[in-house]
């Protein structure tokens, strides 16, 4: 059973005048994070849509767009090399981007080619970004690596097996990396989200958390130094896993 550690181990951070790198910042939760953070910080937003990146740059003078597909690990490495020539210090890395395909393995619509791309975006790119940006994060007196995760890291559902597995891997990676960096200036945090109302979840589920509210919870967790920030219904899921794990798995299976 996954355990949560919500105590703050380091000083709180005020998200003002910080250099922040965020993936998936052109839509959904990422877009809301950008809107909330851009007025008072310097943001480098990694996204696939040139048009959406340009729109962000026009609306927010403090935003610089980086056009990259996280599925293309070679291109991402090139883009990060260019970024490192521009900045010597990064205060916050927010790994927000994710993709989810809902077809099951026995569904005729399952696409074999999507296995690698889903893993690349949801997990491999995060490992890559973390490693390549770590020197600039360690140059900050107090830095954050923030991995946007899901309640599905705690208990999977029947659909989206690759997505669930990638989120479980992200949880394990976050905890291990936290151990590795515990004596450095870099704090590794997670935000574990319930179902959020975004384009990715359109037509699925009910009682969704509004994207802007999710972003506000994420920001509060960053500033407070919360290690594993269980948001919304994830708090209940965590309790069920402790006291009634069979019920938790059953509920999540059909989610």
User: Which residues does the annotation mark as catalytic?
Assistant: 163
3-state DSSP assignment of residue 5: coil
φ, ψ dihedrals at 186, nearest 5°: -105, 125
Give the SS3 label for residue 162. Answer: helix
Q: Which residue has the tokens 């009634």?
A: 244
Instruction: Name which of 16, 17, 34 is nearest 25 in CA terms.
Output: 34
Q: Do residues 196 and 152 lie in contact, with contact meaning Cβ atoms separated by under 8 Å?
A: no
Distance CA 120, CA 253 (A): 24
Instruction: For residue 191, give the nearest of 163, 213, 166, 219 by alpha carbon.
Output: 219
- The Cβ of residue 223 has, within 10 Å, a number of other Cβ atoms equal to 14
Structure token pair of residue 140: 């900050």
CA distance 164 to 252: 11
d(CA 49, CA 69): 9
Q: Which residues contact 174 (CB under 8 A, 6 or more apart)?
A: 147, 149, 188, 189, 190
């Amino acid at each position: 059973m996954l355990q949560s550690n919500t105590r703050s181990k380091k000083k709180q951070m005020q998200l003002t005048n910080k250099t922040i790198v965020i993936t998936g910042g052109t839509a959904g939760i990422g877009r809301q994070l950008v809107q909330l953070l851009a007025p008072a910080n310097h943001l480098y937003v990694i996204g696939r849509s040139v048009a959406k990146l340009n729109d962000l740059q026009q609306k927010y003078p403090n935003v610089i767009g980086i056009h990259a597909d996280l599925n293309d690990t070679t291109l991402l490495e090139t883009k990060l090399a260019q970024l490192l020539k521009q900045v010597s210090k990064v205060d916050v890395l927010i790994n927000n981007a994710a993709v989810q395909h809902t077809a099951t393995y026995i569904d005729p619509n399952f696409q074999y080619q999507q296995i690698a791309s889903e893993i690349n975006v949801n997990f491999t790119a995060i490992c890559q970004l973390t490693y390549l940006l770590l020197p600039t994060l360690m140059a900050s007196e107090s830095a954050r690596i923030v991995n946007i995760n899901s309640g599905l890291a705690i208990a999977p559902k029947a659909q989206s097996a690759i997505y669930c597995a990638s989120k479980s891997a992200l949880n394990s990676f976050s905890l291990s990396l936290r151990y590795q960096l515990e004596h450095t200036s870099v704090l590794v945090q997670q935000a574990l989200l319930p179902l959020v109302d975004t384009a990715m979840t359109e037509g699925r589920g009910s009682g969704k958390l509004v994207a802007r509210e999710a972003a506000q919870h994420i920001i509060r967790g960053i500033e407070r130094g919360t290690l594993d920030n269980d948001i919304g219904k994830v708090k209940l899921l965590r309790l069920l896993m402790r006291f009634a794990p069979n019920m938790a798995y059953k509920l999540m299976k059909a989610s």
